[in-house]
Amino acid sequence: MSVIAQEAAARSERSAALLGVALGVAFTICFVTGVLSHLIQDPPGWFAWPSRPAGAYRVNQGLHVLTGMAAIPLLLAKVWVVHPKLFERPMVRSLAHGAERLALLPLVGGSVLLLVTGLGNVNIWRPWPFSFRDGHYAAAWVVMGALVIHVAAKGAVTLGHLARRAAPAPPSDGGLDRRGFLAAVAGASTLVVVLSAGQTVWPLRAFTVLAPRRTDIGPQGFPVNRTAASVGLTTVDLDAYRLVVDGPGVRRPLSLTYHELRALPQREAEVPIACVEGWSASPQWRGVPVRDLLDRAGAREGCALRVVSIQESSRLREAEVDAGQVGERDLLLALEVNGEVLDPDHGFPARLIGPNRPGVQQTKWVGRIEVT
Ligand code: HEM
């Protein structure tokens, strides 16, 4: 078989169908995990995220980023396989055919936007003029809508290809046949995952080439996204520092110095820290249980919290803790990590840490807990 004929076979409808199924699965996983992450960060009234299992957010976001990265070779291969069809004439054969072709624009354009912004975001490279979360979220809905139209148009053909056994491949004369091509694409996706997963799966950390962070590299043995220097907090005046617990939900507002916080009974817990950007680690934290602070302040049953940082230069300066998570015994105002006083980059003098919360909600440099 000539190389040209093998290329044609590789670009066969069967290749397009198999790659389409793989992409459909990958995009569905990304969509479900992405929308879940969105709901956790901006919960509507009907949504509550539990504090157990402690590592569920870590799995969700690790899966999101790894599946998204695995989709990149799949999308490139799919576009390569089907691109000759884009130049077929007549361009539009019927109204339905026209609608199906029109849906390709948001499908392909939106997919490229999702993969590029997603990859840029985890590498802290955001040259676009819009908010990452808003753009990525809107693109996800557009792509999934266009995907539904695409599946409706191509579902029957795809199922037909999946149901039939593939025709035996003719002997190769050195070029890449369809099976070889698909195996190479699957290999590329697998390699992308293996070379990135070390940012959250510690046995693979030695192979972390494609992800910018490793579970074990950073001050006190794990990574940092926002440093103390980036928010102007490399030194904190401990004489002036107070942890205030107040708000309409308490009977006895508290104002505690750092030394008073250290003198309170402390609790130790291994709680994962899982960044929205896909990396995660499992440090050992030590600090004052938030539940104890609330008891001292006479907080009402069923209260919720707004935890506020002393840094004022980042949008991440406050986070909510809903009523369901407030009773969690491992929700700590952490003062130490991995046996040492918190590094400024990890939130010295005190940071919030709670099981199953996204990293952006584990507020650093905490100065106030408002009880509502
Ligand atoms: C290379 C591929 C991708 C990477 C690296 C990636 C990365 C990310 C990251 C880091 C976030 C968290 C953003 C934040 O909360 O600050 C996120 C959120 C999200 N992603 Fe992706 N993503 C990728 C592909 C996709 C795909 C293919 C879809 C949908 C089919 C998708 C849908 C979403 C959604 C819905 C969110 C929630 C956005 C929000 O919180 O408003 N992502 N993604």
Looking at residue 250, what is its pLDDT?
98
Res. 7: pLDDT tops 70: no
Nearest alpha carbon, ligand 1 atom 43 = 118
More confident residue, 1 or 299: 299
- Classify residue 298 by its DSSP letter: T
* Cα(222) to centroid(ligand 1), Å: 23
245: Cβ below 6 Å to ligand 1? no
Nearest alpha carbon, ligand 1 atom 5 = 118
Q: What is the pLDDT of residues 226-240, one digit of tens each?
A: 999 999 998 999 999
Helix (H, G, I), strand (E, B) or coil at 243: strand
Looking at residue 87, what is its pLDDT?
87
* Cα(28) to centroid(ligand 1), Å: 12
- Which of 27, 30, 108 to mutate for ligand 1's pocket (most ligand atoms within 8 Å of CB)? 30
Res. 6: pLDDT tops 70: no
- Which of 114, 147, 276 to mutate for ligand 1's pocket (most ligand atoms within 8 Å of CB)? 114
Contacts of 101 (CB under 8 A, 6+ apart): 91, 92
Looking at residue 175, what is its pLDDT?
73
Helix (H, G, I), strand (E, B) or coil at 153: helix
Q: pTM here?
A: 0.92
Res. 297: pLDDT tops 80: yes
Atom of ligand 1 nearest to the CA of 122: 10
Looking at residue 11, what is its pLDDT?
60
65: Cβ below 6 Å to ligand 1? yes
- 8 Å CB contact between 226 and 364: yes
**Quick one: which of 28, 58, 62, 57 has its CA closest to 43?**
57
* Cα(172) to centroid(ligand 1), Å: 40
Paired tokens of 37: 């992450």
**Quick one: which of 221, 199, 214, 212 has its CA closest to 342?**
221
When computed from its CA atoms, the radius of gyration of the chain, rounded to whole angstroms, is 25
Looking at residue 137, what is its pLDDT?
98
Q: What is the pLDDT of residues 243-259, one digit of tens each?
A: 999 999 999 999 999 99
Looking at residue 313, what is its pLDDT?
84
Atom of ligand 1 nearest to the CA of 134: 41
Residue 104: Cβ within 10 Å count: 16
pLDDT band for position 10 (50/70/90)? low
Query: What does pLDDT average to over the chain?
Result: 93
Paired tokens of 38: 């969105």
C-alpha span between 37 and 41 (Å, rounded) = 6
355: Cβ below 6 Å to ligand 1? no
- Catalogue the E-assigned strands of 250-317: 254-256, 267-270, 273-274, 280-281, 284-289, 305-309
Res. 301: pLDDT tops 70: yes
Nearest alpha carbon, ligand 1 atom 10 = 277
Q: What is the pLDDT of residues 44-82, one digit of tens each?
A: 999 999 999 999 999 999 999 999 999 999 999 999 999
342: Cβ below 6 Å to ligand 1? no
Chain centroid offset of residue 224 CA = 15
C-alpha span between 140 and 156 (Å, rounded) = 24
| Torsion sign, CA atoms 116, 117, 123, 127 | positive
